[in-house]
Chains A and B, each alone.
Chain A
Amino acid sequence: MTNRLCDVVVVGAGMVGAACALYAARAGLDVVVVDRGPVAGGTTGAGEGNLLVSDKELGPELELALLSGRLWTDLAEELGTAIEYEPKGGVVVSATSEGLTALTELAAAQRAAGVETVSVDSDRLRDLEPYLAPGLAGGVLYPQDAQVMPTLAAAHLLRASGARLETGRTVTGVLRGPDGAVRGVTTDRGDLYAPAVVNAAGTWGGEVAGLAGVHLPVLPRRGFVLVTEPLPRRVRHKVYAADYVADVASDSAALQTSPVVEGTAAGPVLIGASRERVGFDRSFSLPVIRALAAGATRLFPFLERVRAMRTYLGFRPYMPDHLPAVGPDPRVPGLFHACGHEGAGIGLATGTGHLIAQVLGGRAPDLDLAPFRPDRFAKEAAS
């Protein structure tokens, strides 16, 4: 190859791109990361930084979450403070006994798959979370759930990778050789030659796939977050209602909100989570914000007098079967995908980056990538 610049170009300087860069670099590859915006300018900068196993139903996503959780624990030893890593655990609560039964069944299945779970009786919930509303039916504690500050995590992983960072540079095409194999990317400021390209463009991953002539159905699923005034630590865990799991797995385009409440190291409490499929509509929606506030104050009545200071929105990269695209694209040799993680991209980034580095290096991945195959969706564009 002529003018080979590096071993791999990662498209996207969000959390997943940063993790791909880090693990690829540590596997000995020379990496360039390119993004049309700044670091964490897309969904990463609009997220809460969840590293969760609790909201994963059995299957390949849970396996990826468990692998990712282990890798985050390792990374926390070198970068924990800088990225505000907090292994605070998650508490899922249910207001009704039927909901608690369903939650307990899910927890039992998760436990069989290797997730740590602890059932919490109604009268013990407030030992874990003293400000929780009274009268809840019960809950489950997930000690492996953790949190990072996602923008700091992306920035520090990129820095630790030593990869060359090209922000403010837009990828305009994917270069292919006569054999169809990837030769690099074209950008608005010149070409970047490399035998491998990783599509870590998150919600915009479908566009990057399209530049290589392949179909990848990544769609935006809008979410709002409410941020409160700074408080002393009153919410200790990530606390959410059991119906959140159902919302995450739902295929509905309509608005869904389920309360997710957590404190942060910096003081403010973060309140989610809403899900709507409204395209890339950035307009403010007061009804969504109200629903978030109503859910949060039901879980934590003390929040009624606490002020929301800010709200922001982001677009989760949603795929029709709620699984990300991770691994080589059989349709375009040299093209790898690492996108479509919906609302779990921060948590799943480490496992994704690790698996991508393995396949980039020609090694067998630790997890079977078949469920994450990028060509698993029937509709094909001509390549």
Chain B
Amino acid sequence: MAERPRLAVIGAGPAGLAAALAAAARGVHVTLVDSAAEPGGQFYRQPAPGLRARRPQALHHQWRTWERLRGGLDAHLAAGGVTHLSDHHVWCVERESAGLTVHALLGPDQERPAAVHADAVLLATGGYEKVLPFPGWTLPGVVTAGGAQAMLKGGLVLPGRRAVVAGSGPLLLPVATGLAAAGAEVAALVESADPKDFVRRTRALAAQPAKLAEGAGYAAALLRHRIPVRTRHTVVAAHGGERLEAVSVAALDAEGRPVPGTERRIACDTLAVGHGMLPHTDLAEGLGCRLDGPNVHVDDEQRTDVPGVWAAGEATGIGGAALSLAEGHIAGRSIAARLAGTEPDPRAWAPAARARTRTRAFFAALEGAYAPPARWAEQVTDGTLVCRCEEVTAGAVRRAVGELGAGDLRTVKLLTRAGMGWCQGRMCAPGVAGVAGCELAPGRRLLARPVPLGVLATQAADAPDEDTSAQ
């Protein structure tokens, strides 16, 4: 095969797929490295093939976009322009004099290594859900809204029979309607945002008519499934012994505090809860890429400040699938031009750039409207665990700040172990920062996943294996 420039795309969600298609169409050999068994990412998570779902679109939105991506991918796979490495869990991207090496662990057990060498890397690592702590949130039966959706889309299972969907953000609507369509009784959709905040932002929101239509579609689905909607409400506690039995929901006042006397108990065996999304930036941080707040910093071409490394999708700022597609497309074209040694012409991707601008503005407006209750941290009792892994209470965090001189997330972690467990603070960092009253600083997780020491050790002596086996 002729020496074609090599691009490794990390993540096979909308951003990674759009980039892979754009780059492969322009002569770049793309290796699509993804942790899942099937491409699609979280948004287009597919039912496991063994389940033989003949109508997966019943669980999805914007299915035609998916069909276009899938069709394009299949064509490039057949032509050999794209190699898809599924079940590859990337733990580090290493920059060397000769290019970049993507280090991964294979399969669900993640014990054997694989490495992919490339001239350029696109980080399309997506995001994960932010959940703020409240009393009872560690009970079995309390799941993230995205987690309930992922288990439904991928495994065609429900967490229980009677669910409450709660928190804040645009994800709650599809989760509530999706659970209901799949047969769960959704006892309430509890959204802390105030509908008036959306009205105030109508101009930015109206600039995206497709999004508004999508919202209207959810409204109809909520009605059809008879899902009671409680806006400006919050879950103040989850109740149960060994598992979830009920939640308490209360109205919020203008300050974002629960209004005394409005508390109501709703029996349920499932609480699907989320307060927005956070980007996966671990690989970028290991490479030394600059961050803007929680997001990977990119320029107009989606380039990070590290040569050879691009980023697109949620990793550069939460904005949903449409924004991810636009960013991925731009990144793929930029990479193809740059690897060919030419200056890309931004006019070539002008429509995608316009979609990017519009969608970013839309999500900025949404983010302003969807916000957790301003005083949420006050509701976290001292006895509530904030770090689920290391079982660190809010009281311990408050003592670290008040009595031991902690002033930032890192010192809180060192003094309490909050964030030192298996998840490395991915789940608890927003909660700990809020309870501690300090800034949510990036975690600087230089190992993006737990890696067996034997894998690290054997690669000390040997050159990494070129992985070309899995297709």
Is B405 at the interface (CB under 8 A from chain A)? yes
Within 8 A of B (CB), among A267-322: 268, 271, 283-284, 286-287, 289-294, 296-298, 303-312
Given A39-B404, A290-B456, does the pair A284, B411 have CB atoms closer than 8 Å?
no
Is A62 at the interface (CB under 8 A from chain B)? no
Of the candidate stretches B11-19, B173-181, B241-249, B412-420, the one touching chain A is B412-420
Nearest chain B CB to A261 CB, angstrom units: 10
Instruction: Give how many B residues have a beta carbon under 8 Å from the other chain's beta carbons.
Output: 38
Q: Which residues of B contact A303 (CB under 8 A)?
A: 453-454
Q: B96 — nearest CB in chain A belongs to which residue?
A: A286
Is B452 at the interface (CB under 8 A from chain A)? yes
Q: Mark B408-437, 1 if CB is under 8 A from A, else 0.
A: 101100110100111010000000000000
Is A168 at the interface (CB under 8 A from chain B)? yes
Is B73 at the interface (CB under 8 A from chain A)? no
Instruction: Give Cα A364 to B415, complex, Å.
Output: 36
Nearest chain B CB to A225 CB, angstrom units: 11
Given A307-B453, A309-B450, does the pair A290, B286 have CB atoms closer than 8 Å?
no
Instruction: Give Cα A37 to B409, complex, Å.
Output: 12
Q: Which residues of A contact B410 (CB under 8 A)?
A: 38, 41, 45
Q: Which residues of A contact B452 (CB under 8 A)?
A: 304-308
Q: Are A13 and B405 neighbours in the complex by a CB distance under 8 Å?
A: yes
Q: Mark B392-414, 1 if CB is under 8 A from A, else 0.
A: 00000000100111111011001
Q: Are A309 and B407 neighbours in the complex by a CB distance under 8 Å?
A: no
Of the candidate stretches B24-32, B56-64, B187-195, B457-465, the one touching chain A is B457-465
Q: Are A165 and B405 neighbours in the complex by a CB distance under 8 Å?
A: yes
Q: Are A266 and B417 neighbours in the complex by a CB distance under 8 Å?
A: yes
- Interface-centre pick from A156, A271, A294 (highest chain B CB count, 10 A): A294
Is A366 at the interface (CB under 8 A from chain B)? no
Q: A18 — nearest CB in chain B belongs to which residue?
A: B405
Given A158-B405, A310-B447, does the pair A151, B460 have CB atoms closer than 8 Å?
no
Q: Are A290 and B460 neighbours in the complex by a CB distance under 8 Å?
A: yes
Q: Which residues of B contact A159 (CB under 8 A)?
A: 403-405
Is B330 at the interface (CB under 8 A from chain A)? no
Given A152-B415, A306-B453, A307-B453, does the pair A312, B407 have CB atoms closer than 8 Å?
no
Q: Which residues of B contact A156 (CB under 8 A)?
A: 404
Instruction: Give Cα A39 to B445, complex, Å.
Output: 21
Q: Which residues of B contact A107 (CB under 8 A)?
A: none
Is A229 at the interface (CB under 8 A from chain B)? yes
Within 8 A of B (CB), among A154-190: 155-156, 158-159, 165, 167-168
- Interface-centre pick from B103, B400, B406 (highest chain A CB count, 10 A): B406
Q: Which residues of B contact A290 (CB under 8 A)?
A: 456-457, 459-460
Is B94 at the interface (CB under 8 A from chain A)? yes
Q: B456 — nearest CB in chain A belongs to which residue?
A: A293
Within 8 A of A (CB), among B370-403: 390, 400, 403
Nearest chain A CB to B401 CB, angstrom units: 10
If over half of A's interface residues share one DSSP class (helix, strand or loop), that class is named, otherwise mixed; here it is mixed
Q: Which residues of B contact A294 (CB under 8 A)?
A: 456-457, 460-461
Q: Which residues of B contact A167 (CB under 8 A)?
A: 405, 407
When the two chains form the complex, which single residue of A39, A229, A287, A293 contacts B450, counting CB atoms closer than 8 Å? Answer: A229
Within 8 A of A (CB), among B438-454: 444-447, 450-454
Given A266-B417, A307-B453, A308-B447, does the pair A45, B411 have CB atoms closer than 8 Å?
yes
Within 8 A of A (CB), among B91-142: 92, 94, 103, 111
Is A66 at the interface (CB under 8 A from chain B)? no
Q: Which residues of A contact B422 (CB under 8 A)?
A: 229, 309
Q: Are A38 and B406 neighbours in the complex by a CB distance under 8 Å?
A: yes
Q: Which residues of B contact A165 (CB under 8 A)?
A: 405
Q: Are A310 and B404 neighbours in the complex by a CB distance under 8 Å?
A: no
Is A228 at the interface (CB under 8 A from chain B)? yes
Instruction: Give Cα A30 to B459, complex, Å.
Output: 54
Nearest chain B CB to A378 CB, angstrom units: 37
Is A40 at the interface (CB under 8 A from chain B)? yes
Q: Which residues of A contact B217 (CB under 8 A)?
A: none
Instruction: Give Cα A376 to B442, complex, Å.
Output: 42
Instruction: Give Cα A266 to B459, complex, Å.
Output: 29
Instruction: Give Cα A158 to B415, complex, Å.
Output: 13
Q: Mark A216-250, 1 if CB is under 8 A from B, else 0.
A: 00000000001111100000000000000000000
Q: B461 — nearest CB in chain A belongs to which residue?
A: A294
Given A38-B407, A290-B460, does the pair A283, B453 have CB atoms closer than 8 Å?
no
Q: Mark B201-239, 1 if CB is under 8 A from A, else 0.
A: 000000000000000000000000000000000000000
Q: Which residues of B contact A308 (CB under 8 A)?
A: 447, 450-453, 456
Q: Mark A45-77, 1 if CB is under 8 A from B, else 0.
A: 100000000000000000000000000000000
Is B288 at the interface (CB under 8 A from chain A)? yes
Nearest chain B CB to A227 CB, angstrom units: 8
Instruction: Give Cα A293 to B458, complex, Å.
Output: 9
Q: A13 — nearest CB in chain B belongs to which residue?
A: B405
Nearest chain B CB to A51 CB, angstrom units: 18
Nearest chain B CB to A278 CB, angstrom units: 14
Q: Are B457 and A297 neighbours in the complex by a CB distance under 8 Å?
A: yes
Q: Which residues of A contact B461 (CB under 8 A)?
A: 294
Given A168-B407, A310-B420, does the pair A286, B94 have CB atoms closer than 8 Å?
yes
When the two chains form the complex, which single residue of A39, A271, A312 contacts B405, counting CB atoms closer than 8 Å? Answer: A39
Within 8 A of B (CB), among A1-51: 13, 37-41, 45
Instruction: Give Cα A304 to B456, complex, Å.
Output: 9
Q: Are A305 and B454 neighbours in the complex by a CB distance under 8 Å?
A: yes
Nearest chain B CB to A286 CB, angstrom units: 5
Q: Are B456 and A40 neighbours in the complex by a CB distance under 8 Å?
A: no
Q: Are A151 and B447 neighbours in the complex by a CB distance under 8 Å?
A: no
Nearest chain A CB to B268 CB, angstrom units: 33
Q: Which residues of B contact A39 (CB under 8 A)?
A: 404-407, 411, 415
When the two chains form the complex, which single residue of B103, B403, B454 contacts A297, counting CB atoms closer than 8 Å? Answer: B454
Q: Which residues of A contact B406 (CB under 8 A)?
A: 38-39, 155
Q: A268 — nearest CB in chain B belongs to which residue?
A: B420
Q: List 24 A-B contacts (CB under 8 A).
A: A39-B406, A41-B408, A151-B414, A152-B415, A158-B404, A227-B420, A228-B453, A283-B288, A284-B92, A284-B446, A286-B92, A296-B453, A303-B454, A305-B111, A306-B453, A307-B451, A307-B452, A308-B453, A308-B456, A309-B424, A309-B447, A309-B450, A310-B445, A310-B446
Instruction: A268-B420, A296-B453 are known; give 11 further A-B pairs, CB within 8 A.
Output: A38-B405, A156-B404, A229-B422, A266-B390, A266-B417, A284-B446, A287-B460, A293-B454, A296-B457, A305-B111, A310-B424
Closest 6 CB pairs of A and B: A304-B454, A293-B456, A290-B460, A307-B450, A151-B414, A38-B407
